[in-house]
Amino acid sequence: MHIQPILAALRRHKAGTILIALQIALTLAIVCNSLFIIHQRLARMDEPSGVDEPNLFVIANLWGEQYSTQETLERIQTDLATLRQVPGVQDVTPSNQYPFKGGGWDNLITMTPDQRAETTDASYFTGDEHFLDTLGVKLIAGRNFQADEVQSRGMREKMTPSVAVISKPLADKLYPHGDALGKHFYAMTSAPITIIGIVDILQRSDVSTWSAPYAGESMVVPIRLAMQWGGYYIVRTGPGQLAAAMRAAPKALYAENRMRMIDPKDGVLSFAEVRRRAFERDRGMALLMGIICVVLLAITAAGIVGLTSFWVGQRRRQIGVRRALGATHRDILSYFMTENLLISLAGVAIGVLLTFGLNLWLVTRFTLGILPLTYVLGGIVILLLLGQGAVFAPALRASRVPPIEATRPA
Amino acid sequence: MLAYYSQLGLRSLKRNPMLTALMVMAIGFGVAASMITYSVFRAVAGDPIPAKSSQLFVPQIDSWGPQYNEKGEPPGALNYVDAMALMRAHQTPHMALIYQVMLSALPHDANSVPVSTGGFATTADFFTMFNVPFLYGSGWNAAEDDSRAADVVLTQDFNQRMFGGANSVGKSITLSGHDYRIVGVTKRWDPSPRFYDVWGESGFNDPPDFYVLLNRALDLKMDNAGRNSCRGTITYNGWDEFLQSNCVWLMPWVELDTASDVANYRRFLEGYSSDQQRAGRFGWAPNVRLPDVMKWLEVQHVVPPESRISLIVAMCFFVICLVNTIGLLLAKFLRRAGEIGVRRALGATRHEIYAQYLIEAAAVGLAGGLLGLLLTIGGMSGVGLLFEPEIARLAHVDFSLIGLTFAVAILATVAAAFYPAWRAAQVQPAWQLKSN
């Protein structure tokens, strides 16, 4: 196939050529960046929590009366006992938050009490000796809390945990050589906290972009916390007993003490629902980008079909002449296919620049990652195939123009 | 003439239904994507209190110092000591302090269970500064702030739930075991974003149920249910020590009407910080900020990045649809070169050809706008799938959005038609007649 005559013909259709190339370039930029955003969001949604998600639910329990710290602590113990009686419930722990809750409590971490800049930041979970077993997190080193280590504290009372169980990412950040067990750190405390256990994964409560530099870094302290307005009960059930236990648990709590508030809509959440809510934005974003990609590709394809059809219509006479002079069906077909390929190649060449330009802008404005080359290559392949596919039908029609057209007036 | 051109345009659109449909769809989808994301964006990025947004300011004082502050920026709220000092200084006629509280309320029927309610503890000026509209009664006054009265203002919806919507002013209500006297019921008032509560909150969550008197709440040691941020080693033990700590949690707002008031207040904040430095409380030079509402919303990143990105991507999508339309219009117009030649030969000027094709494009734009509007309305029900409920509920179709949809669709299509129409007008009549 000679490219020379195609280029000569394109020079006579500058506007249409430029428009198709431009459209392909812009489409490439948007599709590549959208696919990358989709991938990043989906990856976030798949992040493991480290807990036994299928068998966990959380009760947000608020007190209907104002209690003293001591009264609150007693009520919590009564509630825990009540929940343990609910059929299907295997274990339960009180806590100030849970993984993927959103927002929540975190403390700055330092290696010495008077250190100026913090070493890192950890999501701060309070729990008792049942915390690890209830959540089903995997202890990879050290030990669990003992019952006599658990302190009781009011909300604004001084917290001086002497021991903590921390997540592996936090252990690695504090002690990169893997010898964190038994060592110390400070979590805005005046006394050191000893690391007695390390769990594999325990996701943070907050999963916003603010937490990104501290991904997966969390700590559990053996504190039974009496918060004035209430708190969370994390409940683990036997396999297949989640739904029934979720229905029975609030009833049992209300039967034991009516002066409490468990929101009928948001008060009892399965962990699947917790996860769904935590990543609602990400799912929505992925969906929107997906829809835009699909519609965009469809419109670009339609545009190519439309413009090529016009060109074919315009050149019927020339095609007829070529046919009369001995060009085969295949020659005509490949002429239009090659023409489209040339335009598409020019389009993707500009498109690659636009893609990285847009990506760079998104990186600076929205802390999106740098686009991997595979996305651009994938995008190029998609658009070239799309162009060839779109041009095929009009090109086929062109190849069927009979040589007799040469004798007809335009 | 206009009617004739419109007729010609319509006839021509009918002649290539496929090409026309393609253009209308491109415009329709492009406009709809832009409008749906824009309807969300305008809801989250708008001015929540246009009448006063340039007179309301957040005084920020760096109480943490260079060691602990946020990359040189003072914290976004005040600690108790500084907040009270600013209140007592009376350097501006209007100042409000706010913090979030969560309480329980017992509805009146006997066997009901308590319900959870959320609200704000605040000071008298809150209601006047923010132009809070009242259904019954009014807010409390500064004297009641000083006498630490057990006053409460309910919101319309909460009053509906607790008192069936009746005028409850003067009645008493029990919240978390303490009695309060109802002094007012506000009309439905929920600025979006809730500018006065965006430090640590999205600004779009559920509206409050009540406002209690801040001094009274402090007397009752009513804990802050909103964000609280501390630095360094936490040494407090108990509520009173907590109040003296470096933890910031009280949201201050001041009203300053003129530029000189703003300058004076800024000087006062700097003077206060210098005093603290001299007294040895701050070991650093004054570092204060005084952003107004819109600046504050910007600093707090209230607009979710998702909303911004989706608007940008949707607009890029619309641009591509327009490029597509330019190509299709070009094809459509030039296909009729012969016809144009005849019209030109019969005396039509270039100008008239130009006008005719622009009108034809406007018709495409109108149809695209109509399709776009239908898609936008349909898409609104799907906004809940794309954004979190608290943000999705803010997006809605109103007359301005409908008008904007058509305006954007028609203007964009006509703009896209400039070049194709110009090409059409350039057709040489002699050339066309000869080749025919």
ipTM: 0.85
Tell me whether residues A189 and B67 touch, CB distance under 8 A.
Answer: no
The answer to the question of residue A244 being in a domain is yes
The pLDDT value given to residue B408: 94
Q: Which residue range is the domain that position A89 belongs to?
A: 66-258
Under 8 Å CB-to-CB from A285, ≥6 apart: which residues?
A37, A38, A41, B306, B309, B310, B386
One domain for residues A291 and A338: yes
Residues in chain B with CB shorter than 8 Å from the CB of A299 are 25-26, 29, 320-321, 324
Residues in chain B with CB shorter than 8 Å from the CB of A121 are none
One domain for residues A29 and A104: no
The answer to the question of residue A83 being in a domain is yes
The pLDDT value given to residue A111: 94
Chain B contact present for A68, CB below 8 A:
no
Work out the pLDDT band at A345, boundaries 50, 70, 90. very high
Tell me whether residues A302 and B22 touch, CB distance under 8 A.
Answer: yes
Residue A51 reports pLDDT greater than 90? yes
Interface probe with B: pick from A14, A61, A66, most Cβ of B within 10 Å = A66
Beta strands in A193-329 (DSSP E): 193-199, 218-226, 230-237, 260-261, 268-270
One domain for residues A244 and A181: yes
The pLDDT value given to residue A115: 85
Q: Which two tokens stand for residue B179?
A: 């009695």
The pLDDT value given to residue A2: 75
The answer to the question of residue A393 being in a domain is yes
- Looking at the partner chain, which of B178, B238, B317 has a beta carbon nearest the beta carbon of A296? B317
Residues in chain A with CB shorter than 8 Å from the CB of B102 are 62, 229
Tell me whether residues B26 and A303 touch, CB distance under 8 A.
Answer: yes
CA-nearest residue to A296 within chain B is B317
Q: Which of A117-126, A306-315, B231-240 has the lowest mean pLDDT?
A: A306-315
One domain for residues A33 and A111: no
User: Distance of alpha carbon A93 from its chain centroid, rounded?
Assistant: 28
Where chain B has pLDDT below 70, the residues are 1, 108-111, 432-436
Number of compact structural domains in chain A: 2
The pLDDT value given to residue B27: 93
Q: Which of A243, A258, A273 delimits the end of a domain?
A: A258
- A291, A299, B14, B236, B337 from A294: Cα distances, Å: 5, 9, 28, 57, 35
Residues in chain B with CB shorter than 8 Å from the CB of A37 are 309
In this predicted model, what pLDDT tens digit does every residue of A241-278 receive, in sequence order? 999 999 999 999 999 998 899 988 899 999 999 999 99
CA distance A104 to chain B (A): 9
Place of tokens 């620049």: A353
Residues in chain B with CB shorter than 8 Å from the CB of A254 are 113
CA distance B326 to chain A (A): 8
Tell me whether residues A296 and B320 touch, CB distance under 8 A.
Answer: yes
One domain for residues A82 and A208: yes
Residue A403 reports pLDDT greater than 80? yes
The answer to the question of residue A73 being in a domain is yes
Tell me whether residues A284 and B386 touch, CB distance under 8 A.
Answer: yes
Q: Which two tokens stand for residue B122?
A: 């605040």
CA distance A4 to chain B (A): 24
Tell me whether residues B33 and A292 touch, CB distance under 8 A.
Answer: yes
Tell me whether residues A189 and B239 touch, CB distance under 8 A.
Answer: no
One domain for residues A285 and A385: yes
One domain for residues A102 and A246: yes
Q: Which two tokens stand for residue B297?
A: 């919303």
Work out the pLDDT band at A1, boundaries 50, 70, 90. low
Chain B contact present for A135, CB below 8 A:
no
Chain B contact present for A266, CB below 8 A:
no
One domain for residues A235 and A90: yes
The pLDDT value given to residue A114: 83
The pLDDT value given to residue A307: 85
The answer to the question of residue A265 being in a domain is no
pTM equals 0.86
One domain for residues A215 and A288: no
Cα-based angle B53, B57, B59 (whole degrees, multiple of 5): 165
Q: Compute the distance between CA of residue A27 and CA of residue A376 in angstroms, rounded to an integer.
A: 12
Residue A306 reports pLDDT greater than 80? yes
